[in-house]
Amino acid sequence: MIALAEHRRARLAHYGSWPVVLGTLVAALFVSNVFAAPLIAVVAGAAGGGIGTFTELVTKPWVLFLSIVAGDGALFLAVYVLLVRRGVLSWREMGLTGGVGTRSLVRGMGWAAVFVAASGAVSFLLAALGVQQNQAQQFPLQGMGPAGRIGIWIAGVIVAPVTEEIFFRGYVFRAMAERKGTVRGVIYSSALFSLLHLNRAAFLPLAVGGSILAVSYRRTGDLWTPILAHALNNAFSFSILLAGGS
């Protein structure tokens, strides 16, 4: 991973404490809800027909799109305010040097294959124990029109991988690894990553996937690698959901 001067590593380790990490995550979620809730209400009013019940609301594609963009935008803002703006860690030092190169693309494809295989194996074992995955209910792509599907693909395959990798790997994993060691950094950042998705049935597959993304970042020092692996995994998962409904 890209080296930092000793005093800056100490500053980064400070931001890897549980109070700071959890406080930052809670603050980001609060900001995203403050932004998203009135926007959803305004759009719902403009669309006519009222907001409807909670169950009806959360399955609407534009609500999913706004929720993902608002939540992940808040995560990105948190990293900028907490680390980049204060000079603790630059985007370059985080591993976002230039654009996506051939090496990053190849690495991303390789780690995506590991992600899909490992999380799929965990899902298979859980299914054997009677725990069925429910992503089809969380992302009902089959019932959406073309515009809804495009919006969810943009949010889930482009926006989410970039912002979530910046937050959970570029910030949380790296800061916790500096403070608590690499192994605990992988475990803690991956657990938080999985918890944020609010899907109990998918907790273990997502945690395993998050661990793989953290290891890929640790080994390469290139944040584009886990971003691309995350994006390819999401694209694969969405494709499976669509194929299952056809």
Residue 199: how many CB atoms within 10 A of its CB? 16
Specify whether the CB–CB gap between 169 and 217 falls below 8 A: yes
CA 190 – CA 139 distance, rounded (Å): 22
Q: What percent of the chain has pLDDT over 90?
A: 62
CA 157 – CA 237 distance, rounded (Å): 10
| pLDDT at residue 54 in the model | 45
| pLDDT at residue 149 in the model | 84
CA 82 – CA 93 distance, rounded (Å): 15
Q: What is the mean pLDDT of each run of 10 residues along the chain (246 residues)?
A: 76 95 96 80 59 54 82 95 95 88 94 96 93 75 77 91 98 96 97 93 95 97 97 92 68
Residue 211, SS3 per DSSP? helix
Domain boundaries, the chain: 6-244
CA 94 – CA 15 distance, rounded (Å): 14
Helix then strand then coil, % of the chain, to nearest 5: 80, 0, 20
